[in-house]
Structure 1
Amino acid sequence: MEYVSNCVDDTEALGEALARVLTPGSVVAFSGDLGAGKTAFTRGLARGLGIAERVTSPTFTIVNEYEGGRLPLFHFDMYRLGSEEELFDIGWEDYLARGGVCAVEWSENVERALEAGCIRVDIRRGAGEDQRLLTITGAPALTEKEGRA
């Protein structure tokens, strides 16, 4: 499904709406340019899961863990990983087994390690500076009200 976000709040609202339909073990694989809105979408996921903690990019830590919501959220940044093997070295399978939601930025860097059933979120810049075009596949359609699309 395709959505248009005209501001950061819209992008976060789409993440929040998606979080409502996620189940334990869900993997959300992001693709998009630097600064496209992957972390903003993940902030919305956290809010939708009931996590009050501040969500930041895990660029230098590889993964940030957030607890306290309906499901835990494991926010990965694969930008610096060179291969799928490095993903397994950081305990990917352990995170999957913990029954939370894995949000994976720069998923294209570990594509072969991701299962076919994961939810894909592609975020691209739109016409205006703040506009984003989001394509979400592998998830139920989000209503206009839910996603403010």
Structure 2
Amino acid sequence: MEFLIDSVEKTLEIGKKLGELAKPGDIICLTGDLGTGKTHISKGFAKGLGIDDHITSPTFNIVNEYHSGRLTLYHFDVYRVNDPDEIYAIGFDEYIFSNGVSLIEWANYIEELIPNEYLHIHIKKVPELGENFRKIVLTAYGSKYDYIKELKTC
């Protein structure tokens, strides 16, 4: 499923709708170049879960936990991870196999650690259409994520 969007607000809205549809144990993997909008998707996702905390990318912590929504959100940023063992050291399996939702920015850096079933969101700039245009591609790996079909109304 693909979306062509032209604003931060629309990026946030897609994230919010995904957060509203999310289920316990979901794993959401975000990929894309720097500045494409991964953190905006994350902010919208948190809103969709009912989390009003200020969402920032956990670049130096690896993971931020948010417990104030209808589901706990584990927000990972693995951009600075040099070795997958660093992720295991923080208890990665305990997070992703919990009843919370794991949202992983730069998931391509730890592909070998991601379970077979997850939702992949890839964001790409589309400069030929304008500075703010992004193509957001959602790919569900596993029937658990069939709920993305409900996003056609975006």
Query: Which of the five TM-score ranges fits, normalised by the shorter chain?
Result: over 0.9
In 2, Cα distance between equivalents of 1:142 and 1:2: 13
Aligned to 1:137: 139
In 2, Cα distance between equivalents of 1:75 and 1:41: 11
Look up the SS of the partner of 1:50 in the other structure.
coil
Amino acid at match of 1:6: D
Aligned to 2:83: 83
Write out per-residue CA displacement over residues 28-79 of structure 1, whole angstroms, 9 at most, x where no aligned residue.
0011001110000000100000001110111111111111111011110001
Look up the SS of the partner of 2:124 in the other structure.
strand
Aligned to 1:12: 12
Where relative contact order (Cα < 8 A, 6+ residues apart) is larger, the structure is 1
Shift of 1:83: 2.6
After superposing the two structures, state which structure 1 stretch, 96-105 or 70-79, moved more. Answer: 96-105
Shift of 1:22: 1.3
Provide structure 1 residue ranges, at least 5 long, that are not aligned to the other structure: none
After superposing the two structures, state which structure 1 stretch, 91-100 or 114-123, moved more. Answer: 91-100
Shift of 1:82: 1.6
Extract structure 1 runs of 4+ deviating beyond 6 A. none
> Per the alignment, do residues 142 and 37 of structure 1 end up closer, same or farther by CA in structure 2, a change over 3 Å counting?
farther
Aligned to 2:24: 24
Shift of 1:25: 0.9
Aligned to 1:3: 3
Aligned to 2:130: 128
TM-score, normalising length: structure 2: 0.90
TM-score, normalising length: structure 1: 0.92
Look up the SS of the partner of 1:76 in the other structure.
strand
RMSD: 1.2
Shift of 1:144: 4.3
Indicate if the aligned counterparts of 1:18 and 1:142 stay in contact, CA closer than 8 A.
no
- Matching of residue 55 in structure 1 with residue 63 in structure 2: no
Look up the SS of the partner of 1:30 in the other structure.
strand
Look up the SS of the partner of 2:16 in the other structure.
helix
In 1, Cα distance between equivalents of 2:131 and 2:150: 24
Amino acid at match of 2:88: F
In 2, Cα distance between equivalents of 1:97 and 1:143: 25
Provide structure 2 residue ranges, at least 5 long, that are not aligned to the other structure: none
Look up the SS of the partner of 2:149 in the other structure.
coil
Amino acid at match of 2:55: V
